[in-house]
Each structure stands twice: as structure tokens, then as C-alpha cells.
Structure 1
Amino acid sequence: MNHIRPYHQQDQESVLHLFDANCPAYFAPEERVDLENYLDSELEDYFVIESDGKIVASGGINLRKEENKGVLSWGIIHPDYHGKGIGRVLVSHRVNHLKTVHQVERIGVRTTQLVHGFYAKCGFELKKVVKDYWAPGYDLYDMDYKEKA
């Protein structure tokens, strides 16, 4: 059974393992340093999904208060769990969490061409593409949630 809970610092190695398991299929290896920095000093609300006591997914949110916008950040699903609905559960959990933050009027996600189709199925629409933004071959797909927060 899957269980969503807040991230704790002792989860860091498990989350980094999720990242490593998705390289280079979904993340550029050089992004690992960015994730480590995020987990150490930039996360606001971050969640993990456990299945049978093992962390199989993680993802967070960040607030851009000056824009009244919440952004989904660092969503990662272990490859063994792709296509099993866990990604949708994680997106839904984070979107619903952002809807409880009163200053959030819009919700977005910054992803790549590799998973933008998944986010489109979850209700996000493409706003902008920046080639090689994350790393060579990893383009930025800036997307906004179609519903208002």
C-alpha cells in the first residue's frame, strides 16, 4: 500500500537513489548537485511516497510569492513504479496542497520534453519551451495548471 508523508532529512539518500535510477532517461546526471542543494537548503514542502516501507516517489512545491504562484518541484518516481498511477497521486497531492495556500492563484511546473506529456494529462498546458535549459538535450517545458488554484 502507498503512503504519502512529509520528507525528512534522513530520506535524502533514498530520494537521491530515485534520482540516480532516473538518469539519464529523465534527468541529466549533472542535475544531481542541484537536487542535493535543493534538499539541503531550498525545499519548502516536500513529500515522499512509500510502498511497503520503501520510498518509491518524491516531489515538492515551492512558492513564488511575488507572482502568487505555486510550482511543483523535483517530482521523481522510481522506474519500477512508472505507469502505476503513483505519479498522478503525487501531482494531485501537491496541487491540492497548493490550493490550501491562500496567496497561490496559479500553479505551474517546470519540466522537460521527456515528461511534459504526463503533466499535460494531469491538467497542465505548455506556456514556453527553452532548448537545452537544464543541460544539453534537456529542454525546459514551462507549464501552468489549467484550473485556478
Structure 2
Amino acid sequence: MRIYSYSPSDDPAILELLRLNTPQYFAESEEADLMDYLANHIDHYYVVEIDGTIMGCGGFNRTPNGKRGVLSWDIIHPEAQGKGIGSALAKFRIAEMQKLGVTEIGVRTTQLVYPFYEKLGFKLKVPVVKDYWAEGFDLYDMALS
């Protein structure tokens, strides 16, 4: 497994990962949001490659003062889920944030994925916001404890 910094040449593979996870984990409407994020809002974004194939991706963004970081756009190939790739990518990004002086780490996710983040030590911060991302995709705002 190799984790490396994102390049725009990775876009087709990342888009395919999103599509493979739609509608189970993402709404169709989120495709445009992901492409906008990749084009305009990246702080740090990474790709996971296994045997020459992109099997996952995810990034983080920091607040302007650099003290708070939020994991963003985690996508793992369905065939790779449950095999430790998502955990390795999350731990890698947490370590990268800590190297940059980030002291508060969060993630904004859905009811479908929040148990994964709980296993990594994240706790729910605020009440759930129904249909936040899209219909049937609620917001779970979590912080690493």
C-alpha cells in the first residue's frame, strides 16, 4: 500500500471510487461537490494505491489559524472496505495534521460511516442534522478525543 499526495491526474479514478460508493455511502448530487472540492478547496489530499490501482482517497482541511483540522472526502473502494485501508489512511492524515501543529481534529460524516470513526476514537459533538448532505444522508459532526 502506498499513500501519496493527490494530483489532478487522479481525478478519473477518484470519481470512479465515488460512483462505486453511490448510493450506498454518497448521494448522486455529491459528485459535483467532490469535483468542486478537488478543483477549488483542497488543503491536503491523498490517494491510496495498491498494486498500481487507486483503492482509496481522503484529505483534510485546516482552519485559517491552523489549529483545527477536519478529515474530508474519505472514499474507499468497496472491495477494499473492512481491510484496514481506511484506518491506515485516517491514521496517516491524523499524523500529518499533528506534524503541522493541528490540536483539534474533527470529521463531518453520515449515519452510515460514523461507527468507523468511533472505532478510531472520534466522539459525536452535536446533535445529528437530518438530511444535511442530501435526503437520507444526515450530518454527524465528530471530534477526536
The TM-score range, normalised by the shorter chain, is over 0.9
Instruction: Letter of the 2:33 partner, please give it.
Output: D
Q: Which residue number corresponds to residue 17 of structure 1?
A: 16
Counterpart selection for 1:122 from 102, 109, 120? 120
Matched, 1:101 2:100: yes
Aligned residues with identical type, % of pairs = 49
CA–CA separation in structure 2 for the residues paired with 1:93 and 1:66: 21
Deviation at 1:68, TM superposition (A): 2.4
In structure 2, stretches of 5+ residues that fail to align are: none
Distance 1:123 1:14 in 2: 29
What is the Cα deviation at residue 61 of structure 1?
Answer: 0.5
SS of the aligned residue for 1:29 comes to: coil
Find out whether 1:138 has 2:122 as its counterpart. no
Summarize deviations over 1:16-48 as a string: whole Å, max 9, x none: 100000000000110110000001111111000
Counterpart of 2:64?
65
Instruction: Work out the number of aligned pairs and report it.
Output: 144
TM-score normalized by the length of structure 1:
0.94
5+ residue gaps, structure 1, are none
Note the C-alpha offset of 1:67.
7.7
SS in 2 for 1:10: helix
Given residue 116 of structure 2, which amino acid in structure 1 is its aligned partner?
F
| TM score, norm. by length of structure 2 | 0.97
**SS at structure 1 position matched to 2:125:** strand
Counterpart-to-counterpart distance in 2, 1:132 and 1:126: 17
Within the candidate set 109, 112, 124, 1:111 is matched to: 109
Deviations 1:77-100 (A, max 9, x none): 000001100010010001000001
Quote the Cα distance in structure 1 between the aligned partners of 2:107 and 2:100: 16
Query: Letter of the aligned partner of 1:81 in structure 2?
Result: A
Using the alignment, how far apart are the partners of 1:134 and 1:9 within structure 2? 25
After superposition, the C-alpha distances for 1:44-87 in whole angstroms (9 at most, x for unaligned) are 11000001101000000101135821000000000000110001
Q: Secondary structure at the match of 2:24?
A: coil
Q: Give the superposed CA RMSD.
A: 1.0
Residue 107 of structure 1: how far off its partner (Å): 0.2
